[in-house]
Structure formats: structure tokens, C-alpha cells
Amino acid sequence: MTSTTQTTAPAGAGIAPAPAGAARLSKRQLRKMHSTPKHLRSNLTAFLMIAPLLILLAIFVIWPLVYAFYLSGYETYYNRPAEFVGLDFYKFVLTDPLFWSALWVGLKYSLLVVPTILVLSLLLASFIKTLSGKMAAILKTTVYVPAVVSVVLTGLVFVFMYQDSGVVNAFVGMFGIEPVAWLNNDSTVLAAISVPGIWLGFGISTLIMLAALLDIPESYYEAASLEGANWFQRTWYITIPMLKNVFLYLLVTGFTLAMQEYLIPLIMTNGGPVNATTTTNLFIFNQFRDTSAFAFTYSITAALILFVVLGLLSLLIFKAIKSDKAVDG
């Protein structure tokens, strides 16, 4: 492409009609005309402003991630150089029954926590929506309070509550049930540790759900009421379909977070009894605490597998939400 002919003049640029001499401008000058004017560019300032963030992220997030992928291909030894083993460690992890059982524990835990949070937060949000300003404000703050308590402290408080003569057993005792060793019993321990998980998470879900509820135009409900729809019909035909995207958002984020939970079982049961609460990340964390070189690479690889699987899953679901939104538009 040469700039000698009239046709290459920047006619389609949408700026003011080119002056007569424009045709003779060089390619470089043309590009200059189209990019941001020089006085508005601020390379130096901009780089100084983003540098701290980018450098910190590069050192403490991006490099460790790259390094993790790199290490997962090497068998390390203490007494001789590391040896490239390709995807061997991925095979070790994926054929390890302990990894799969930890994945299964994490899945069961998530299935206890996430649906409960979703139903609970829909109920609470619908209720708070009907309240007057002051009551609503009080409840909004109240349900958010558990979310700022640390996982460690929450775990300890619930261990205290689950003691043999603790408050939970006192409560079930009112219904004539004998005291249960909640955390030492295969059949109760997972449900027992899911309660603090739910308690920590329902507040934020409720606030997000409430915001979504308030975004539904009131006129939809008025029209439905005029047609004689009762509360259940309005919920089923208006609220739930309108909340679909928020539901999916909370489902995906809640699920990916719950699948990665390990602090609650670490504090409350240390994975026991007999691995009944060893979630995937707790399994990985325990491998890391094991000091052998094999366990070190093994835990890195397992963490990467979980990250890739969960990442792909949420990406797919979010893609589905986005395209759906466009259709509804």
C-alpha cells in the first residue's frame, strides 16, 4: 500500500474531511493521526502508576503459577538435580484413590453447603425486601456480621458448641435425643462442619440476592396480582426466572469456593475421623506438610489439577450466562 494515490487518504476515519495535502502524508504520520493525540498520552505517568501493582502480581502470583506448572513436570531430589518426568505426576495424582476420595468429600461438603445457602438466602432476601427501611437496614447488617468473623474463630466456636455437654447437644436434648459426638462420628461429621460453612457464607449471598430482587420491576408483580396470581405463582413465574443469572452466579462462585474449603476441616477435625472430612485442598495441604520431595511435587500437581478443572467449569458456566443474557436483552 502506497500513499501516493488519492484513495488511501484517511476518508473513512470519521474525522473532519482531510485537508488537500493529506494525501501526501506518510504512513507513519497517518497512524499518528488515528491514535490518541500525543498530548493525551501519558506513558511515563501511567507506567509509574501501574508498576507497583504489576510488579507485585508478577512476583507473588504470576511467577509462582508459572513455577508451579514448571515444577509439576519435574521429580525433585534432595541429593541430585531434578529430573524431567513430563506428565508423570499428573498420572500419579489422577490414579491415586486418596485424591479421588478427597474430591468426593469436597463434593459432598459442597452439596451440603451451597444449595442450603441458596435456598436460605432467597428466603431471607425475599423477607428483607418486604420490610421498611430501618428494619431492612438492621437485618442487612446483621446477616453480614458472620461473614467478617474469621474461619479459624468460627471453627473453634463450633467445636466448642459441638462438645459432648455443649450447647448443640443441650438443644437436641430438648427433643429427647441422646448427646451425639458430632465431630467423631462418620455419619454426622460432614454435616456438622458444613454448618459453620453455611453460617459464614449466607450473609453475602443474601445481600446479593436482595440487590437482584430489588432490581425486578415492581410493575411485573402488580400486573400478575391484577391477573389474580397468588404469592407462590408470582414467586415461581416472576421471581425465580428473573433471578436465574444471580442464582447461577452464586451457584458457580459458591461451588468453586466450597470445593476449595480446607480451613474449616483443618481447624475442626484435622480431616478426621479417618479422612471423613479430608477435602481436596486439605489433602493437598497435608501432602505439602509432609516433608518428602515426592509429596512436594505431588501436592503442587494436585493443586493445579483442581485449579484447572474448577476454572474451566466456571468459565463454561459464565459463558453460558453471558450468552443467555444477550438473548434476554
Partner 1 sequence: MTGKLLAVKGIKFLFGLAIVITSLFPLAWMAVAGFKGKSEVLRSPFQFFPDMWDWTNYRQILADPAFVRTLWVTFAGAVVFTLLSLFINSMAAYAFARLDFFWKPLWWVVALMPMFVPGMAILITSFVVVSKLGMLNTIAVLIIPGLASSGQMFFLRQFYLNTPIAVEEAALIDGASRWQIFTKIFLPQSKAPFVVMGFGSFLAYWNAYVWPLLTVGDNPNLLQMQVYLAGFRSERGDDWGLLMAGGTIAALPTIVLVLIFQRYITTGVRIAGMK
- Choose the stretch contacting partner 1; rule: CB under 8 A; options: 11-19, 52-60, 217-225, 319-327: 52-60
Q: Rounded CA gap, 265 and 271, in Å?
A: 6
With CB under 8 A as the contact rule, the residue among 141, 225, 230, 233 that binds partner 1 is: 141
Rule CB under 8 A: choose which of 89, 109, 182, 285 binds partner 1: 285
Task: Return d(Cα 169, Cα 311) in angstroms, integer.
Answer: 40
Distance, CA of 306 to CA of 106 (rounded, Å): 11
- Identify residues 249-278 at the interface with partner 1 (CB under 8 A): 249, 256, 260, 262-263, 267
- Choose one: 2-10, 93-101, 207-215, 218-226; the region binding partner 1 (CB under 8 A): 207-215
User: What is the closest distance, in whole angstroms, from the C-beta atom of residue 19 to partner 1 in the complex?
Assistant: 25
Q: Which stretch binds partner 1 (CB under 8 A): 21-29, 104-112, 158-166, 231-239?
A: 158-166
Is there binding between residue 54 and partner 1 (CB under 8 A)?
A: yes
Distance (Å, whole) CA 77 – CA 263: 30
Residue 92 binds to partner 1 (criterion: CB under 8 A): no
CA 252 vs. chain centroid, Å, equals 7
Chain residues 161-190 in contact with partner 1, contact rule CB under 8 A: 161, 163, 165-167, 170-171, 173
Q: Where are the alpha helices (DSSP H) in the chain?
A: 27-34, 43-57, 63-71, 88-94, 97-129, 133-144, 151-161, 167-173, 186-215, 218-226, 231-234, 240-242, 244-259, 263-268, 280-289, 293-328
C-alpha 3/C-alpha 30 separation (Å) is: 9
Footprint of partner 1 on 290-329 (CB under 8 A): 296, 299-300, 303-304, 306-307, 310-311
Span from 14-22, 79-87, 181-189, 284-292 in contact with partner 1 (CB under 8 A):
284-292
Q: Of the candidates 77, 100, 104, 160, which one interacts with partner 1 according to CB under 8 A?
A: 160
Q: How far apart (Å, rounded) are the C-alpha atoms in residues 149 and 249?
A: 23
CB neighbours of residue 20 within 10 Å: 8
77 binds partner 1 (CB under 8 A): no
In the complex with partner 1, which residue's Cβ is closer, 11 or 149?
149
